[in-house]
């Protein structure tokens, strides 16, 4: 089986540039395809009234993390084959199911459809702007990776803590931080492809997908808090 990740170190710069462009193009194509099962999963979840966190949120969180990490482990193990694509699409369907809960809450507002559309539009604007910058600039953003990872760990710890404290102001602050953090991750992850730091389009798609997913959820949380109209 051909390894789609490894390229000869002696390859000419023009060939390396073409290979990186191919990885980026494949990433964008698979990313667009991944939105289909996400939407299908979200629609199915809304119709079923699906909620993994109802009743016992900590148990729901552990179950979610177990399933999500299982998918990501499988994707990483099969990233050089078509099975990796299938697992990625299965993972995005699962994430669509998980997305359905916040969509149900949004649709409970009088302007819920508008809020969802605004969150999707805002996420798209952020992605296309930052992806454009990351893919055209000559700057290498790999040096911000450690800072982003540290910020991600702190954000996750704070979010888990707020599941117990239920402080609305803190939840809004965390959503704001998440928008900034995962927007920066879009810039970082796309730039890694362009700079040759990531040469597997399945792994790249997974990273960028999670960035976009978290930006959308965080934006929707903020829009519901500041612009939601009660019925």
The residue extents of the domains of the chain are 13-227
- % of the chain with per-residue pLDDT over 70: 93
Q: What is the pLDDT of residues 49-75, one digit of tens each?
A: 888 776 677 788 889 899 999 999 999
- pLDDT at site 2: 39
Find, among 3, 92, 116, the residue nearest to 44 by Cα: 92
Tokens at 178, concatenated: 């998440």
Count of residues for the chain?
Answer: 231
**pLDDT at position 12, please?**
56
> Which residue, 87, 46, 40, is CA-closest to 67?
87
Give the pLDDT band (50/70/90) at residue 14: confident
Condensed to tens digits (0 to 9), the pLDDT of residues 78-130 reads 999 999 999 999 999 999 999 999 999 999 999 999 999 999 999 999 999 99
Is 166 buried (19+), middle (13-18) or exposed (0-12) by CB count in 10 A? exposed
């Amino acid at each position: 089986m051909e390894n789609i990740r490894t390229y000869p170190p002696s390859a000419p710069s023009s060939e390396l540039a073409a290979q990186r462009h191919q990885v980026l193009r494949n990433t964008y194509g698979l990313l667009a395809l991944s939105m289909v099962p996400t939407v299908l999963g979200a629609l199915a979840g809304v119709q079923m009234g699906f909620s993994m966190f109802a009743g016992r949120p900590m148990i729901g969180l552990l179950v979610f993390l177990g399933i999500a990490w299982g998918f990501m482990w499988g994707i990483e193990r099969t990233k050089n084959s078509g099975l990796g694509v299938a697992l990625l699409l299965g993972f995005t369907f699962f994430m669509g199911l998980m997305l359905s809960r916040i969509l149900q809450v949004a649709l409970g507002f009088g302007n819920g459809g508008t809020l969802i559309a605004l969150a999707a539009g805002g996420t798209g604007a952020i992605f296309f702007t930052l992806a454009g910058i990351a893919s055209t600039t000559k700057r290498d953003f790999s040096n911000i990776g450690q800072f982003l990872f540290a910020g991600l760990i702190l954000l996750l710890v704070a979010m888990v803590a707020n599941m117990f404290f239920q402080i609305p102001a803190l939840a809004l602050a965390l959503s704001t931080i998440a928008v900034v953090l995962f927007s920066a991750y879009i810039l970082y992850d796309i730039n890694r492809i362009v700079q040759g730091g990531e040469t597997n389009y399945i792994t790249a798609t997974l990273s960028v997908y999670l960035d976009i997913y978290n930006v959308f959820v965080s934006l929707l949380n903020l829009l519901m808090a500041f612009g939601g109209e009660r019925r």
